[in-house]
């Protein structure tokens, strides 16, 4: 909190401690100030995480307590000329999140792992730790052996967000598939109850609702299929077409900042084949293949 007060003392224009989700239009001074505010927030989080670790020491919890430190997504702080999340392609600043795990059964600490893991692995990791069965339709995998010996549990990871690029990575290359030019808005919400952000599902969209048989992960429960996307128009920023970015391929080993998209047909085809395979494994709706121009790959 000392850092936060220091930043505000030196800052001489309007308060700017939380950006909207839009492209950067602020002055360099405002950008620097917002980044400093974020640094103060991280410092506060680090301080309170330290209190948790102190408690683990005080009560000798390390011998029988699993500790997972993770977050759901990153946040753009002017990288790629963006603030926030959701509107832009899912660059590593958003998708490559921190993950620390202490598993008292392994005793492994102070080491890094290179195996490709995802947040979907956390639930089966916890189930396995407590000796509970892992449901057959869970795509995630328990991480005990990865923690012990860097055991690989997948070759590719599918990631992203409804209505934005569909993305896949093998840990080095990241492929971001953009919708076809005339199919970007061919989106449907599949819900049990038609609720979302206020106003995100409009009355007109709700009128399109039809009963859908559901998916493997809904365990036989039917869903409402409603025309409409993510509802970003309600969040206070102007719409931006994904087509302005197009489909992107990055090599994060040679270009960690994802500043220079590749033209590599062989790698793109490999990523495409595995994207379609994983979409099938995740029971993606049929219209997604059409929306992404993947019919010939199905």
pLDDT tens digits, one per residue of 94-115: 999 999 999 999 999 999 999 9
The answer to whether the beta carbons of residues 88 and 123 sit under 8 Å apart is no
Q: How far apart are CA 261 and CA 263, in angstroms?
A: 7
Bigger pLDDT: 6 vs 180: 180
Yes or no: say if 139 and 281 are a contact pair by the CB < 8 Å rule: yes
User: Strands, E, within the chain: which ranges?
Assistant: 67-70, 76-77, 83-84, 99-102, 157-160, 166-169, 173-177, 188-191, 210-212, 223-227, 248-251
Tell me if 215 sits within 8 A of 204, measured CB to CB.
Answer: no
pLDDT digits (tens, 9 = 90+) for 146-169: 999 999 999 999 999 888 899 999
* pLDDT tens digits, one per residue of 54-70: 999 999 999 999 999 99
Which residue bears the tokens 């998708």? 95
Q: What are 114-154's pLDDT values in tens digits?
A: 999 999 999 999 999 999 999 988 999 999 999 999 999 99
Q: Tokens representing 8?
A: 């505000």
pLDDT of the residue at 201 = 77
Q: What does the block give as tokens for 68?
A: 């997972």
Q: Which residue has the higher pLDDT, 28 or 196?
A: 28
β pairing state of 223-227 and 166-169: unpaired
């Amino acid at each position: 909190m000392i850092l936060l007060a220091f930043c505000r003392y030196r800052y001489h224009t309007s308060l700017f401690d939380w950006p909207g989700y839009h492209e950067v239009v602020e002055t360099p001074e405002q950008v620097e100030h917002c980044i400093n505010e974020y640094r103060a927030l991280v410092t506060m989080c680090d301080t309170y995480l330290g209190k948790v670790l102190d408690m683990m020491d005080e009560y000798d919890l390390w011998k029988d307590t699993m500790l997972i430190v993770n977050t759901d997504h990153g946040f753009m702080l002017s990288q790629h000329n963006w603030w926030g999340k959701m509107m832009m392609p899912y660059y590593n600043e958003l998708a490559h999140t921190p993950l620390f795990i202490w598993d008292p059964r392994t005793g492994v600490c102070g080491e890094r792992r290179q195996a490709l893991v995802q947040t979907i692995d956390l639930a089966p990791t916890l189930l396995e730790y407590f000796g509970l069965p892992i449901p057959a339709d869970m795509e995630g995998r328990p991480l005990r052996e990865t923690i012990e010996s860097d055991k690989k549990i997948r070759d590719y990871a599918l990631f992203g967000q409804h209505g934005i690029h569909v993305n896949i990575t093998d840990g080095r290359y990241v492929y971001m598939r953009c919708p076809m030019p005339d199919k970007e808005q061919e989106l449907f919400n599949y819900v049990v109850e038609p609720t979302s952000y206020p106003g995100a599902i409009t009355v007109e969209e709700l009128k399109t609702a039809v009963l859908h048989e559901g998916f493997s992960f809904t365990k036989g429960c039917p869903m409402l299929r409603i025309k409409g996307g993510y509802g970003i128009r309600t969040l206070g920023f102007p719409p931006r077409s994904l087509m302005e970015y197009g489909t992107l391929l990055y090599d994060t080993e040679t270009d960690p900042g994802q500043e220079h998209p590749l033209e590599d047909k062989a790698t793109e085809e490999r990523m495409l084949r595995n994207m379609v395979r994983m979409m099938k494994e995740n029971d993606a709706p049929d219209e997604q293949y059409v929306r992404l121009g993947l019919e010939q790959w199905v």
